[in-house]
Amino acid sequence: MQGKIALEEHFAIPETLDNAHDIFPDRVWRELESRNRDIHGGRLALMDEYGIETMLLSLNAPAVQAIPDPSRAYEIARKANDFLAEQVGKRPDRFQGLAALPMQDPEVAARELERCVTQLGFRGALVNGFSQVNDAETAVYYDLPQYRPFWAAVERLDAPFYLHPRNPLPRDRRIYEGHAWLLGPVWAFGQETAVHALRLMGSGLFDAHPRLQIVLGHLGENLPYAMWRIDNANGWVENRHSYAAKKRMRDYFCANFHITTSGNFHTQALLDAMLVLGADRILFSADWPFENIDHAARWFDSCPISENDRMKIGRTNAMRLFKLGEV
């Protein structure tokens, strides 16, 4: 398929380049360093070869979210966003931007998002999971009350918010002790992000701000396949569930979330997700540079779905959600 749009595609600045080094062997990291630095060279050539018209670029992980000092987090976020705006300006026909946000300070994060959307022309934001705030051992999640004004700003700006994974803090990894292979994209990324997404749903956030749109990668971090059980577990136990939200989690998932194919190029999983969410809420992505563009594109272009659904997932859903007709 020609004209695909990919939206979980990363770059790095010098201050964030080594952030994911610990989850890759050195021999692989040398290749990833080169991929992270490149925007207009090999990346663009691969886009041309595999039918990707546009990439929405975002800073690598965990980057800003792993900087406990709020002032430093803001400094790096602003630097990354200014760099990205400069790169997009060179080829706005091929690249668009998603903002990095210093979520350590919700008020500053809201201001930076507004700057990125209204002044730099970015299409939304991508945030790498929880933020460490003031010290390296404190993980802060965005369902907490202090983030409600931030979410009000996101809704007002009509800016999609991509909740991207990161590993749990070392203190929270006891279940992985002796099994470090389960960290990162194998399992821990998805588990961490799914719990964060469920916290947002259960907090009542989407009752207060029903127009919010959250994006999850990797075909929904396993949530599409768990949604029935989440809502119906031990359904014979009266009033078991206690949370602020007014609706079932599935209702929010189907109204306030989109998912992408990033790093999960599996036909059966895609078909299952389509049965839960429908084709209108799924979007193509590769997860470059951490996954391969050729793997993503070859799989997607040949997977057994209708051409109408392929066009939606590959292109038109992203155009609508991110307002890409307004370039």
The CATH code of the domain that includes 261 is 3.20.20.140
Four-point Cα dihedral 141, 144, 146, 148, nearest 10? 100
Distance, in Å, from the CA atom of 101 to the CA atom of 116, rounded to the nearest integer, reads 10
Name the DSSP letter for residue 2. Answer: -
Q: Which residue has the tokens 């099994």?
A: 179
Query: What is the average pLDDT across 44-50?
Result: 98
Distance, in Å, from the CA atom of 53 to the CA atom of 50, rounded to the nearest integer, reads 9
> Which pLDDT band holds residue 22 (cuts at 50, 70, 90)?
low
Signed CA dihedral, 196, 198, 201, 203: sign only: negative
Distance, in Å, from the CA atom of 263 to the CA atom of 261, rounded to the nearest integer, reads 6
Q: How far is CA 290 from CA 31, 218, 219, 226, 295, in A?
A: 10, 12, 16, 26, 12
Catalytic residue selected from 48, 135, 172, 287: 287
| H-assigned helices in the chain | 26-37, 42-49, 70-90, 106-118, 148-157, 188-202, 205-208, 223-232, 249-256, 267-277, 293-302, 307-311, 317-321
Specify the pLDDT at position 327. 41
Q: Evaluate if residue 147 carries a pLDDT over 50.
A: yes
> Which pLDDT band holds residue 21 (cuts at 50, 70, 90)?
low
pLDDT, averaged across the chain: 95
Name residue 138's amino acid.
Answer: T
Q: Residue 29 belongs to what domain range?
A: 4-326
> Which pLDDT band holds residue 126 (cuts at 50, 70, 90)?
very high
- Number of domains the chain contains: 1
Specify the pLDDT at position 34. 86
Does residue 287 have an active-site annotation?
A: yes
Specify the pLDDT at position 309. 98
